Chain A
Amino acid sequence: MKNKYSALSLIKNAFTNNKNWKPAIKNAEPKKSYDAIIVGGGGHGLATAFYLAKNHGIKNIAVVEKGWIGGGNTARNTTIVRSNYLWTEASLLYEKSLKLWEGLSREINFNVMFSQRGVYNLGHTLQDMRDIERRVSANRLNGIDAEVVNAEQIKKEIPYINTSSSARYPILGASLQKRAGVARHDAVAWGFARAASDLGVDIIQQCEVTDIIKSNNQIHGIETSKGRIESNKVGLVVAGHASVLAAMANLRLPLESHPLQAYVSEPLKPVLDTVVMSNAVHGYISQSDKGELVIGAGIDPYIGYGQKGSFCTIEHCMQAIMELFPYFSRVRMLRQWGGIVDVSPDACPIISKTPINGLYLNCGWGTGGFKATPGSGWVFAHTLANDEPHQLNAPFSLERFSTGALIDEHGAAAVAH
C-alpha cells in the first residue's frame, strides 16, 4: 500500500512537521469507460469496489457519488454492528460481515475503531423473552455467539439502567451478543475509499447519475452530470434513492424510503460501556468515545426523502430512553439528523442480479445496513464479478418477491436493526 499508515509513518511525518502527508483519496474525473461502475459512494458501494479490486482482480472500476464520501447514511447511523438475526440466511450474511469487521482495520490499513463492547437486546414481556430464547438458540445453532441474561445480570453490567419491577415496561432480561459492538462510521467510509483508491479505483464525487443507458436488455453505462460513462456492468448501491435510480432502468422495486432519525447528546463522563437496544420501547443507545450518548429512533412512518423527520418521533424516542435510563433525564441533546432508509417488505436487503443484463442491485437494507458494510460489499463484489450471487446472498434475490421466499426478519430488525 502506498502511503501506509503505521507508528513509523507517524514518527517520520512528525519530524517533517506533518507537511508530507499525501491525500488519502485520489479525487478522480471520469474516464470514458470502465469494467464496472458502482453508483453510490457510501460504505457499501466503496466496500464493493474495494473487494472487486482486491478479491476479483478487477481494477478498472469507478465509484460514482452524487455528494461526497461520508456524507450519506454511512455517517448518519448509530454505528451498531451485530449478527444476532433469527433466520439462517440473514444470520450467516451478517455473521460474514462481523467476521470481516474483526479484521477490517488491518485489512484496509485504517483504524475503524471497531469496539466489541457487546449488544443487549432487551425483553420487557414474557413473549419478548420467549422470542429472545428462540433467537439466541437459533444463533447458537448457526455458530454465532449469543446468550440470554436476566435482569439481575443486566443491572450488574449496566448500573444506571432501570430494572425495577415497578417500571411501566419492566426489563425481564435480554439477549447478549458479546462480539457485537460499534465502529466509527466516518472511518469506515474514508478507510474503504482510501483502500479502494489505492487499488486503482476511480472515486468520482459530486457526480450525479441522470440516466441509465441500456438497449436489448443490456446495460451500456450511465449518463451523469459529468457526462456519459460506459460500462456493461453497473451496480446500484444508493440506499434511500434505490427506487429513483431503478426507475431510470424501468425497474420497479419493493421498497419504501423513510426518514430514520438519530440523536447525539452533550458529552458525558464514561457512563455506558455497551450497547442497549429495546424493540418494545423503541430506542437504542450507546456512548461514543467522545462521551456523547448516541441514540436511535424508529423510522418516521411516511415516505420521505428530506433527511429530516418529525418532532413526534424525537419525543417518542426520548421517552423510550428515559424509560430505560431515568438517570439521563437532565442530559441535553446536541444534534439530531435523519437519513433516508430504503425499507423492504421483509426487513431484509436485496443483493441481486436484475432482469436487465449487467445491472445489479444492492439495496433494501432499511434501518440496519451499517453493520453489514464489509459483508455487503464482499458478496456484492462476488455477484458483479461472476454474474452470479455468492451462496451467502443468493437468498436475497429480487425474485423472492414473486416466488414468495421471503426472509422475515422483522423480529430481529424492527427498530433494533
Chain B
Amino acid sequence: MLLINCPWCGERDETEFSYGGEAGIVRPENPEILSDEEWGDYLFMRKNTKGVFTEQWNHSSGCRQWFLVKRDTVTYKIIDSYKFDRSDSENKGSK
C-alpha cells in the first residue's frame, strides 16, 4: 500500500487517491495543424518510465485536488509530492 503525501492534507492511504498517469503532457495548442502521427503521439504515446517518474495523483476521496508525485516505479518509493505551481524543471511539459 502506498502512503501518499497530499500537499494539502498530509499523508493518507493510497485508497483515498486516484491515479492520473504521466505528468507534463501538454495539449497541443493547434491540433488542426498536427499530422495524425503527432496527434496520436499526444493522445496515446507514453514514457512508461522504469525508475524515477513524475506522475499525477488526485486526492479523490479527500480534498479532490490534483498534484504531482515523484516516485520510483521499481521500488514504489515516493521521493516527493508537490503542487503544480512549484517551479521545478521536472514539472514542465516534456515529451
Contact = CB atoms under 8 A, between A and B. Distances in A.
B2 A306 contact: no
B75 A306 contact: yes
A399 to B, nearest CB: 9
Contacts of A268: none
Interface string A204-244: 00000000000000000000000000000000000001011
Interface residues of A, number: 25
B45 A254 contact: yes
Given A310-B14, A402-B37, A402-B40, A253 B76 contact: no
Contact of B73 (A252, A303, A310, A345): A303
B49 to A, nearest CB: 7
A270 interface: no
A241 B43 contact: no
Interface of A: 241, 243-244, 252-257, 301-306, 308, 310-312, 342, 345, 401-404
B55 A303 contact: yes
A311 B13 CA distance: 11
Contacts of B53: 303
A345 B46 CA distance: 11
Contacts of A303: 21-22, 48-49, 53, 55, 73
A132 B44 CA distance: 29
Given A254-B46, A312-B15, 8 more contacts: A244-B50, A252-B46, A254-B44, A257-B73, A302-B55, A302-B73, A302-B76, A402-B35
B94 to A, nearest CB: 12
Given A312-B14, A312-B15, A401 B21 contact: no
Pairs A-B, 5 closest by C-beta atoms: A402-B40, A254-B44, A243-B48, A301-B19, A252-B45
